[in-house]
Amino acid sequence: MIKGPYGAPAQNYKKYDIILLIGLGIGATPFISILKDLLKNLKDTSSQVLNL
């Protein structure tokens, strides 16, 4: 059984410690968007650490 939240696929995913992404069919678009955002944030964070 999977319990909520049942909002938009890419809504507020940053507030969770653990996320499970499953992207099939039409769900691939939000899946790719979330992955790109996560990778961008990782790059931004690592570059800030290196610039200290």
- How confident is the model over 1-52, as pLDDT tens digits? 777 666 665 667 788 888 887 778 877 887 888 888 888 888 777 776 666 5
The C-alpha atoms of residue 20 and residue 49 are separated, in whole angstroms, by 27
The pLDDT value given to residue 25: 82
In terms of Cα–Cα distance, which of 36, 39, 34 is closest to 9? 34
In a domain, 7, yes or no: no
Show the domain range for 33. 27-51
| Residue among 51, 21, 15, 18 at smallest CA distance from 36 | 21
| Per-residue pLDDT at 5 | 63
Residue 41 lies in a domain: yes
Count of structural domains within the chain: 1
In angstroms, the CA 3 to CA 6 distance is 8
Confidence (pLDDT) at 50: 61
Is residue 15 domain-resident? Answer: no
User: Is 44 within the bounds of a domain?
Assistant: yes
Domain presence at residue 45 = yes
The pLDDT of residue 52 is: 53
Q: What is the pTM of this model?
A: 0.57
